[in-house]
């Protein structure tokens, strides 16, 4: 199997792109990038940059950590394959070959659900992998706006935006105190052409004064928006292997309304408003709409609002503890330390 890096034109890539940290410094190149994600700032990229900033460089120098897309394996280092994608992804198909699997000292999954999928679809034995969940920087305490219920959607359009907009248009006719902010574009991955099928949908949002379309915005802008948001509306039709958008919403004390598809139940950990996913769009939209209405009613209720606020505070404490980088980096150091000794 040839794992050399090639670009979009098929030519080999000889110069590895620099990885730049949040403070502008060049990060350890052992956490890899490739021709697909050079311009991307999605969840996988947030994770690999976050890890590179926090791991002990002396420990990290002993390893080649590959986030999902394998291009070249360094024979002089221990290799960790850090999977973020589904086993059906073309980038994962090389793992069907046992010889390719042997090249990796450990496989890291981002959820138990994802690990089970790789076992089911590709036959990877459980002992080969370990689950280290994704991580976030906790969102500090803040006060939500009063007098309006801010609803937010902050993930790529193909994951459920087509379901959300018509449902929200009907709900906006029922409640005069709701507003929807949409942060959604394939520009998050450096793929603006993939926005084309959603241009009419974006125009619908822009033409409605009860909705605001923000396109792609950096993560720090979205995190500020989450501080003002009350409800994360996510009628997911995408099998998430984890969900950083959900983690950050939970950390911001946002009520999360979403389907139970993929690893979302595992990520939500019983803190959110979740409904049964349905492959039929009409039934899915109906289930999502009912759940979203219930969430809005809770915010509008004088008698139930205090209980809701208490639960959202507890949700925030859970997310900030369980999903913080402080917790996750201990697990990463433990994994790499054990591998370094073997």
Question: pLDDT by residue (tens digit) across 177-213?
Answer: 999 999 999 988 888 999 999 999 999 999 999 999 9
β-pair partners for 232: 152, 256
CA separation for the pair 193, 206 (Å, rounded): 19
Examine the pLDDT at 116 and tell me if it is beyond 60.
Answer: yes
- Predicted local distance difference test score (pLDDT) of residue 40: 58
Helix or strand (DSSP H, E) at 231: strand 231-234
CATH number of 149-322: 3.40.50.2000
CA separation for the pair 87, 102 (Å, rounded): 17
Q: Work out the mean pLDDT of the chain and round it to a whole number.
A: 89
Q: What is the pLDDT of residues 226-274, one digit of tens each?
A: 999 999 999 999 999 999 999 999 999 999 999 999 999 999 999 999 9
Domain boundaries, the chain: 43-135+324-341, 149-322
pLDDT interval class at 20 (50, 70, 90):
very low
Residue 107: φ, ψ to 5° = -110, 130
- Predicted local distance difference test score (pLDDT) of residue 43: 74
Examine the pLDDT at 36 and tell me if it is beyond 50.
Answer: yes
pLDDT interval class at 301 (50, 70, 90):
very high
Smallest CA-to-CA distance from 178 within 141, 208, 217, 218 is with 208
Examine the pLDDT at 2 and tell me if it is beyond 70.
Answer: no
Please give the model's pTM, rounded to 2 decimal places: 0.88
CATH number of 43-135+324-341: 3.40.50.2000
- Predicted local distance difference test score (pLDDT) of residue 56: 86
- Predicted local distance difference test score (pLDDT) of residue 25: 39
Do the domains 149-322 and 43-135+324-341 match in fold? yes
Smallest CA-to-CA distance from 204 within 236, 150, 233, 162 is with 162
Examine the pLDDT at 22 and tell me if it is beyond 90.
Answer: no
- Predicted local distance difference test score (pLDDT) of residue 124: 95
Percent of residues, the chain, with pLDDT higher than 90 = 78
């Amino acid at each position: 199997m040839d794992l050399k890096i090639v670009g979009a034109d098929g030519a080999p890539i000889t110069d590895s792109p620099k990885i730049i940290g949040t403070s502008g410094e060049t990060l350890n190149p052992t956490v890899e990038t490739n021709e697909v994600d050079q311009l991307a700032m999605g969840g996988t990229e947030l994770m690999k940059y976050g890890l590179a900033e926090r791991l002990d460089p002396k420990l990290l120098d002993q390893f080649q950590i590959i986030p999902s897309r394998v291009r070249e394996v360094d024979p002089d280092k221990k290799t960790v394959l850090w999977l973020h994608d589904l086993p059906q992804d073309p980038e994962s198909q090389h793992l069907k070959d046992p010889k390719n699997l042997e090249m990796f000292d450990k496989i890291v999954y981002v959820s138990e659900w994802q690990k089970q999928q790789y076992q089911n679809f590709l036959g990877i034995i459980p002992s080969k992998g370990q689950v280290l969940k994704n991580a976030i920087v906790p969102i500090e305490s803040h006060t939500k706006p009063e007098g309006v219920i801010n609803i937010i959607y902050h993930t790529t359009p193909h994951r459920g935006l087509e379901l959300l907009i018509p449902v929200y248009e009907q709900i906006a006719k029922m409640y005069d105190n709701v507003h929807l902010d949409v942060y959604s574009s394939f520009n998050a991955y450096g793929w603006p052409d993939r926005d084309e099928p959603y241009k009419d949908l974006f125009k619908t949002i822009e033409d409605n004064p009860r909705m605001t379309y923000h396109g792609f915005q950096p993560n720090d802008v979205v995190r500020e928006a989450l501080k003002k948001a009350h409800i994360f509306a996510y009628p997911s039709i995408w099998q998430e292997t984890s969900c950083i958008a959900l983690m950050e919403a939970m950390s911001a004390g946002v009520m999360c309304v979403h389907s139970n598809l993929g690893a979302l139940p595992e990520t939500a950990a019983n803190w959110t408003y979740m409904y049964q996913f349905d492959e039929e769009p009409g039934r899915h939209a109906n289930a999502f709409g009912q759940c979203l209405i219930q969430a809005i009613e809770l915010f509008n209720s004088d008698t139930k609002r205090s209980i809701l606020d208490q639960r959202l505070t507890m949700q925030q404490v859970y997310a900030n503890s369980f999903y913080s980088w402080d917790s996750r980096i201990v697990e990463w150091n433990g994994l790499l330390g054990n591998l370094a000794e073997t």
